[in-house]
Amino acid sequence: MQLRSLLTPEFLKARQSAASDHIPQRSMQETVAQEKACFILNPRSGVRSNVSVPDLIAQHLDTNRWKPELIFTEYAGHATELAQQAAADGARLVVAVGGDGTVNEVARGLKGTSSALGILPKGSGNGLARHLGIPLILPKALALLNHPTFHRIDSCTINGHPFFCTAGIGFDAMVSSAFAQSTKRGLSSYVQLVVREFRNFKAQKTTVRIKDRELSSEFFVVAFANASQYGNNAYIAPMADIQDGLMDVCLIRNVGVAEAFQLSYGLMTKQIATSSLAEFHTCATVHVQCEEPQYFHADGEFMGLAKEFAVQMFPQSLEVVASLQAKA
């Protein structure tokens, strides 16, 4: 599959001439070889889909540093195919332009390659972008790409489905299923769904095997955190380190209305880590057995229902452009 550029030299020249003040000029000593950057755009992503990404790239991307190509996704899973092709074609940088679902698809295609993931966040949650310190203002996110700092991060799978931020079984996955069917996006729509689905959710008996421990209960949520948050600064595991080779497992037993309000407050204030309602473990692999089929999600995308789950960590398996502190 040949990637086609929608950013012609004439288009870039015209836009950059009009916006030259926005792009810092390099000295002779700062000049680096131009490398290929492929931007993969989901045109239906998020609440800011009216933003003209080609215009923003032309205005704010340093084309002395990067040779940009832009291509739109056409169907579910297309971003993974495009990312794989971009990596095979030698792109140093492959940028996911969209929400958490688009980021997940692009990252899937880049695992184990020499191409790095960049993110222009245009979704409603932007969980991985927030954890990686990527600005949500798109010109600032492009500025980060102009002076890239490369890091290697961990990734995980749940029943073979890759995730880079969080995955979960139970209530959060049920909400993901409802959100996927909703035509509305944004935080307020999500909160309305949470309230509605809470009344319908019934926790199921579940056994979680972590290392040599076996934990059984009627769990409200079993969450697996590679990064610290779901998105929208809702922190399910504030202590999670995306580079430590371990996932943080958060177990929340069945809760009532009062406890649900406490959990919501804890998510938004990072205090869930000290809440008596949540129990945390760190590990590289987890096995889960449920008495009845349970909803599950990967990076907020509903994956289906299952009774058994295998969750596995893959350390340092993806390179990203991010604003993370280097590990000592």
Is residue 122 domain-shared with residue 182, that is, in the same domain?
no
pLDDT at 52: 87
Mean per-residue pLDDT for 38-64?
Answer: 84
Is residue 166 domain-shared with residue 300, that is, in the same domain?
yes
Determine how β-strand 247-253 pairs with β-strand 234-235. unpaired
Q: Exposed, middle or buried: residue 159 (CB in 10 Å: 0-12, 13-18, 19+)?
A: middle
Confidence of residue 46 (pLDDT cuts 50, 70, 90): low
Is residue 116 domain-shared with residue 171, that is, in the same domain?
no
Higher per-residue confidence, 111 vs 17: 111
Confidence of residue 80 (pLDDT cuts 50, 70, 90): very high
Mean per-residue pLDDT for 269-287?
Answer: 95
Percent of the chain with pLDDT over 70: 83
pLDDT at 263: 87
Mean per-residue pLDDT for 226-255?
Answer: 95
Percent of the chain with pLDDT over 90: 68
In a domain, 323, yes or no: no
In a domain, 227, yes or no: yes
Is residue 165 domain-shared with residue 144, that is, in the same domain?
no
pLDDT at 182: 64
Is residue 133 domain-shared with residue 178, that is, in the same domain?
no
Structure tokens, 91: 């792109």
User: In CATH, what number is assigned to the domain containing residue 41?
Assistant: 3.40.50.10330
Mean per-residue pLDDT for 133-146?
Answer: 97
User: In CATH, what number is assigned to the domain containing residue 272?
Assistant: 2.60.200.40
Q: How far is CA 27 from CA 16, 19, 24, 68, 161, in A?
A: 18, 19, 10, 21, 45
Higher per-residue confidence, 37 vs 43: 37
Is residue 166 domain-shared with residue 279, that is, in the same domain?
yes
Phi, psi (degrees; rounded to nearest 5) at 130: -65, -45
In a domain, 62, yes or no: yes
Higher per-residue confidence, 176 vs 144: 144
**CA-based nearest residue to 120, from 140, 147, 146:** 140
In a domain, 63, yes or no: yes
End-to-end CA distance of the chain, in Å? 41
In a domain, 320, yes or no: no
Is residue 114 domain-shared with residue 171, that is, in the same domain?
no
pLDDT exceeds 50 at position 270: yes
In a domain, 247, yes or no: yes
Is residue 204 domain-shared with residue 98, that is, in the same domain?
no
pLDDT at 5: 53
Amino acid at 300: G
Is residue 184 domain-shared with residue 133, that is, in the same domain?
no
Higher per-residue confidence, 164 vs 260: 164
Mean per-residue pLDDT for 43-72?
Answer: 85
pTM of the model as a whole: 0.86
Q: How many domains does the chain have?
A: 2
pLDDT exceeds 90 at position 191: no
Is residue 218 domain-shared with residue 184, that is, in the same domain?
yes
Is residue 125 domain-shared with residue 200, that is, in the same domain?
no
pLDDT exceeds 90 at position 17: no
d(CA 216, CA 235): 24
In a domain, 220, yes or no: yes
Residue where a domain stops, chosen among 121, 148, 175: 148
Q: What is the pLDDT of residues 200-214, one digit of tens each?
A: 888 889 999 999 899
Amino acid at 247: M
In a domain, 327, yes or no: no
pLDDT, mean over the chain: 87
pLDDT at 202: 86
Residue where a domain stops, chosen among 92, 121, 148: 148
Is residue 171 domain-shared with residue 284, that is, in the same domain?
yes
Domain boundaries, position 103: 9-148
Residue where a domain stops, chosen among 108, 125, 148: 148
pLDDT exceeds 50 at position 31: yes
pLDDT exceeds 90 at position 33: no
